[in-house]
Structure 1
């Protein structure tokens, strides 16, 4: 799908352009592309009127591209942490910091990492913390003592996971999970990267949140169960936006074309990317050293030897739902069949994201 230039009002469809001298794509033949579109025709009927994220008081654009663009911003602001949620998580962090000081004194510092730090958390997201302290202290069983300190406070139930390297706390008042690691400087580096992209890459946070929500509602976002983790997804979004030819040529304004970027992201990673032969990096592609399984490989920006998707064994399923979402949205956006035209109040985004998911409760 071709993005909408700032001086154009009517979007046009076109396959995503190839990027750079190294072509990591396997673009579908036109006949196959059209055949799959026919398979997904009519899925727009699943659209719902006024899902929970849709601003009922705002103006509803008649143009379907503008409507989806507005919906993506509605979703972004709907899922943004409220003042109460932010205050609660800050309170939890202060409690943990006090417990760390009681256990280690001035020899330990506590850092918030993950989505809470980067302000890309969803309502059900865990709080992720890393404690920086003397390694020798941890080897003497101080992690267990920290768990005991928290348990005695009566605020959380604790479990030591992965051989004592991760401490899980379930907060008794809300049931929210806090995962605490020790001396996990890589998590700090990852958080700093996402903070940088959020500030400097236009439309990164909005597109990232939409995709996180999509994967969350498909139960495909947990690496422990073979899903696509948030940091790997963030690298994919940064890669996509950094290499988008129309953005780089300044021919489009990303914020005005968020809906088209979402559709093209699904097209790239759900259909066109040659995942067997390439490695996705923060700002480009590298050729794999040897042929492997067609699972996507995403390189960590801070550790070139680390494949962030090495445990994403559900990639075949994830790629399939990306492809499904691409054709569903294309059908909803460009179909001219009168019988499939949705009502003006219908949500296009609800064709791929279910607002009855527990995430929205």
Structure 2
């Protein structure tokens, strides 16, 4: 067996950069890159240069319009819109002047090359900061998949909120609660969504709901004047940034959107929408049930379900496919997919593998299942009991014009289709499929070098 690879020379399976002796290229960065602004990162990092532009990894050739099939299924079969993270080619040099170069040009050429090499080295370092802090112990990884498993844990550690940031968010929520309670004494402010379940990524928003018996309950909607009064209250109290306040009164769920002065957190405030609070309680329960914790394996055990959710959210978020209003998968849908995946995984059911020690492998298999094999046309997902699938025809959720839509039964309301609004699910499926192709190819190439 070859000797273990030293950390200074071990390439990481997820990087899109060419293997480099130092720092080790990352496997995770094949599909997940640190493209967050420094102020949005949970862990403070030095300011980094602008990330490379994302470019499609597949051929740019397209057939003539007359030959193209415009149906969604044909678009999926073409598999041409997986968004990779390959660096864009450098801009072409301007046409060279025919005049002779001066002596100074030659004198400084070597200095410029050395500076360029240092800049490239710093950029490689910053593109996978989780490999340095909290760090990946490459010496203890004896296979490519083991490297991926360890790096996946490091990535989750890196994007998870620090205690200081979580405390700042809770302090911000308390300020909003006190401000609203002063004007509406019978009101309470509850937190739900990603902050309520501790599943938020750097820069994630805060979802709040104002619960008051004196205000309209669904199906009645709060009036525009009520929403504007709340917006004015947040502005005059100094909580919201003046130019950030937006009142959306005609949406299915009317909200007040704003950004806080302290912490610059984006906040969505709704009125008497209790469904999100109940869902957060259910999500916390499911995340703990499928945490598969193992004491002593990792310094901070985030749980398998939570870690997988963060990996998938980061993967889709960097491609703009994690928002329902754009047709992508919302956080609740992603959570349900991950829980169903863990419920029905045959090797987890039979205790053949330890989920905590195979986080990277589970992420690859998640991409494969929902990117290549899941029967979106016929099957829907239920989490009741030990989980399972149902026939979309039998439940009345089959849409003849859109048979490819994903259907997930709401754990709190069996009549509600959680993912019914994800109309761009074909693009999500393409992206998951492409991510599996890139990551599995990287693993095979890495294993051949060990």
- What TM-score range do you get, normalising by the shorter chain? 0.7 to 0.9
Structure 2 residue corresponding to 1:159, chosen from 246, 256, 263: 246
Partner of 1:206: 307
Partner of 1:326: 436
Please state if 1:231 is matched with 2:332.
Answer: yes
Q: Shift in Å at residue 312 of structure 1?
A: 1.1
- Superimposed CA distance per residue, residues 7-45 of structure 1 (whole angstroms, 9 cap, x where no aligned partner): xxxxxxxxxxxxxxxxxxxxxxxxxxxxx9xx9xxx999
Contact 2:143 2:447 in 1 (8 A): no
Partner of 1:182: 271
3-state secondary structure, aligned to 1:163: coil
Quote the RMSD (CA, aligned, Å). Answer: 2.5
Contact 2:136 2:154 in 1 (8 A): no
Supply the distance in 2 between the matched residues of 1:263 and 1:337 (Cα, whole angstroms).
Answer: 15
Structure 2 residue corresponding to 1:309, chosen from 419, 440, 450: 419
Please state if 1:299 is matched with 2:409.
Answer: yes
> Superposition pairs for residues 12-51 of structure 1, below 5 Å?
51=128
Supply the distance in 1 between the matched residues of 2:287 and 2:131 (Cα, whole angstroms).
Answer: 23
Please state if 1:126 is matched with 2:205.
Answer: yes
> Superposition pairs for residues 254-293 of structure 1, below 5 Å?
254-282=355-383, 283-289=387-393, 290=398, 292=400, 293=402
Partner of 1:7: none
Which shows bigger deviation, 130-139 or 310-319?
130-139
Q: Shift in Å at residue 96 of structure 1?
A: 0.7
Partner of 2:187: 108
Q: Shift in Å at residue 84 of structure 1?
A: 2.4
Supply the distance in 2 between the matched residues of 1:166 and 1:130 (Cα, whole angstroms).
Answer: 9
- Superimposed CA distance per residue, residues 32-82 of structure 1 (whole angstroms, 9 cap, x where no aligned partner): xxxx9xx9xxx9998x67712223654212411111001110011101111
Partner of 2:174: 94
Please state if 1:65 is matched with 2:145.
Answer: yes
Supply the distance in 2 between the matched residues of 1:226 and 1:162 (Cα, whole angstroms).
Answer: 21
3-state secondary structure, aligned to 1:145: helix
Q: Structure 1: where are the runs of 5+ without partners?
A: 1-35, 345-361
TM-score, normalized by length of structure 1? 0.76
Which shows bigger deviation, 267-276 or 162-171?
162-171
Contact 1:113 1:188 in 2 (8 A): yes
Contact 1:99 1:146 in 2 (8 A): no
Say which structure is richer in helix: 1
Q: Shift in Å at residue 208 of structure 1?
A: 0.8
- Superimposed CA distance per residue, residues 295-341 of structure 1 (whole angstroms, 9 cap, x where no aligned partner): 21122111122112222121111101111111112112224785xx4
3-state secondary structure, aligned to 1:53: helix
Contact 2:172 2:262 in 1 (8 A): no
Contact 1:297 1:309 in 2 (8 A): yes
Partner of 2:285: 196
Please state if 1:74 is matched with 2:151.
Answer: no
Contact 2:199 2:306 in 1 (8 A): yes
Q: Shift in Å at residue 83 of structure 1?
A: 2.4
Q: Shift in Å at residue 90 of structure 1?
A: 1.2
Please state if 1:222 is matched with 2:326.
Answer: no
Supply the distance in 2 between the matched residues of 1:154 and 1:224 (Cα, whole angstroms).
Answer: 30
Q: Shift in Å at residue 176 of structure 1?
A: 2.2
Change (3 A) 1:149 1:66: same
Contact 1:97 1:110 in 2 (8 A): yes
Partner of 1:24: none
Contact 1:44 1:328 in 2 (8 A): no
Contact 1:69 1:258 in 2 (8 A): yes
